[in-house]
């Protein structure tokens, strides 16, 4: 089942090889492994009750310091808090993604042992799974796929993978609607359950009490055009051109030289717009959000919107584009939503360019920034936001949905 040779190479040699070989060579080596194994739905032996002990084998990028990794950890946490017997298997991404999360100190396994597989892995990252496991991990098991996707339809490169699965669990209705266009298999919406954040235990890493501080965040690996921090900067300049007591923090991760130049050109000489670069621990990130007065996301598309949900958990108001997966928990009663027009995407995703996404209204975003600054309906929105976190984006809700569906399967 587990391929010892591949496992040794990835777990032991990969860090060494990455240091010795140029990045381009390492990428070629990675492609070689990807080409060497290709899961085929036609070769899969279907689910057979009683063949394995009941429970879930959970596969995900459990230590990856990216949004996909955090989403994977949140699903895992809901399973861990449930009554379902679960083993957790980390599938590291053997590239430049930093692998350093402690995964809540939950014990990890190297082998699946239960009757159900749950893969929180996007198809384009299946090469990482293929490096560790052969085709037979799918055999005699009920296989569930969890994908994150943000654009208006599923890329064609994903289609061949869909037949590997018996059903899908996804964190948003938007993803469900996209998948429904390409499969008739069951799809269940199970939102991420947000971890309870103890504010008193957060590090005191940031203090913005001198000015009313807006915060926007993005990772260059997630595409600057999609995350659209430029839109936030434009809206901030429009709203607060003559204000001295307001600032905007643009928090970046994995910032490329081109993206930094792009941002600095837009910031110009505005002294109250600051770039904050580099990785933060989970506690430091929460501290940054909590120290701010508002989190702004003028995204063009989102697969879920974890930073927004995290801000809601910290009782921080949010401004967000009224489009894609965030609409499951963000609306005009719980946040300051921004109008948009649907336009053709300007970037290539998964070797395709025929996607649509939102173009947020900068004037409306500027108005919403002023609304937050002036406290317009602030307490009402924060109350509704807390209710959504407590009732919908809770670990209890996520765990209950998982348990109910699990009982139906077994």
Same domain, 20 and 96: yes
CA–CA gap between residue 209 and residue 211 (Å, rounded): 5
Radius of gyration of the chain (CA): 22
Same domain, 242 and 313: yes
CA–CA gap between residue 180 and residue 161 (Å, rounded): 15
Same domain, 86 and 189: yes
Same domain, 86 and 162: yes
Same domain, 185 and 223: no
| Domain span at 246 | 199-391
Same domain, 123 and 225: no
Same domain, 163 and 204: no
Dmax over CA atoms of the chain, in Å, equals 70
Same domain, 204 and 166: no
User: pLDDT-derived band of residue 101, with 50, 70 and 90 as boundaries?
Assistant: low
Same domain, 265 and 295: yes
Give the domain CATH number at 218.
3.40.50.2000
Considering the entire predicted model, what is its pTM? Answer: 0.89
- When divided into structural domains, the chain yields a total of 2
Is the pLDDT score of 98 beyond 80? no
* Interval 305-329: pLDDT, tens: 999 999 999 999 999 999 999 999 9
Same domain, 244 and 128: no
Question: Percent of the chain at pLDDT above 70?
Answer: 88
Same domain, 338 and 403: no
DSSP-derived secondary structure for 9-21:
IIIIIHHHHHHHS
In this structure, how many other beta carbons lie within 10 angstroms of the beta carbon of residue 387? 12
Secondary structure letter of residue 283 according to DSSP: H
User: pLDDT-derived band of residue 1, with 50, 70 and 90 as boundaries?
Assistant: low
Looking at 186-223, list the stretches that DSSP marks H as alpha helix, in order from N- to C-terminal side: none
Same domain, 209 and 316: yes
φ, ψ of residue 405 in degrees (nearest 5)? -70, -40
In this structure, how many other beta carbons lie within 10 angstroms of the beta carbon of residue 20? 10
């Amino acid at each position: 089942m587990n391929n010892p040779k591949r496992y040794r190479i990835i777990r032991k040699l990969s860090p060494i090889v990455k240091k010795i070989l140029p990045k381009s060579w390492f990428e070629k080596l990675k492609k070689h492994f990807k080409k060497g194994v290709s899961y085929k739905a036609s070769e899969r032996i279907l689910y057979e009750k009683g063949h394995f002990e009941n429970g879930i084998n959970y596969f995900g990028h459990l230590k990856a310091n990216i949004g996909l990794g955090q989403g994977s950890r949140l699903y895992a946490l809901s399973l861990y808090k449930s009554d379902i017997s679960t083993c957790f298997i980390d599938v590291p991404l053997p590239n430049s993604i930093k692998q350093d999360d402690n995964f809540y100190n939950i014990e990890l396994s190297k082998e699946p042992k239960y009757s159900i597989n749950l893969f929180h892995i996007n198809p384009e990252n299946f090469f990482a799974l293929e490096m560790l496991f052969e085709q037979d991990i799918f055999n005699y098991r009920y296989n569930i796929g969890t994908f994150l996707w943000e654009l208006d339809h599923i890329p064609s490169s994903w289609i061949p993978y869909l037949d590997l699965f018996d059903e899908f669990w996804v964190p948003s209705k938007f993803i469900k609607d996209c998948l429904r266009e390409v499969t008739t298999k069951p799809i269940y919406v199970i939102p991420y359950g947000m971890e309870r954040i103890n504010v008193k235990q957060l590090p005191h890493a940031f203090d913005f009490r001198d000015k009313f501080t807006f915060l926007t965040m993005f990772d260059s690996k997630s595409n600057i055009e999609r995350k659209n921090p430029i839109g936030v900067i434009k809206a901030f300049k429009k709203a607060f051109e003559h204000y001295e007591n307001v600032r905007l923090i643009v928090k970046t991760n994995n910032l490329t030289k081109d993206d930094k130049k792009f941002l600095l050109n837009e910031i110009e000489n505005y002294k109250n717009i600051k770039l904050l670069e580099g990785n933060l621990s989970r506690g430091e990130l929460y501290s940054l959000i909590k120290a701010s007065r508002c989190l702004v996301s003028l995204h063009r598309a989102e697969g879920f919107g974890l930073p927004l949900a995290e801000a809601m958990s910290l009782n921080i108001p949010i401004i967000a584009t009224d489009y894609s997966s965030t609409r499951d928990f963000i609306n005009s009663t719980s946040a300051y939503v921004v109008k948009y027009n649907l336009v053709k995407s300007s970037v290539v995703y998964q070797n395709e360019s025929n996607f649509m996404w939102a173009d947020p209204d900068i004037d409306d975003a500027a108005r919403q920034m002023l609304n937050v600054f002036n406290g317009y309906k602030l307490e009402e929105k924060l109350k509704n936001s807390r209710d959504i976190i407590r009732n919908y984006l809770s670990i209890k809700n996520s765990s209950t949905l998982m348990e109910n569906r699990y009982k139906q399967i077994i």
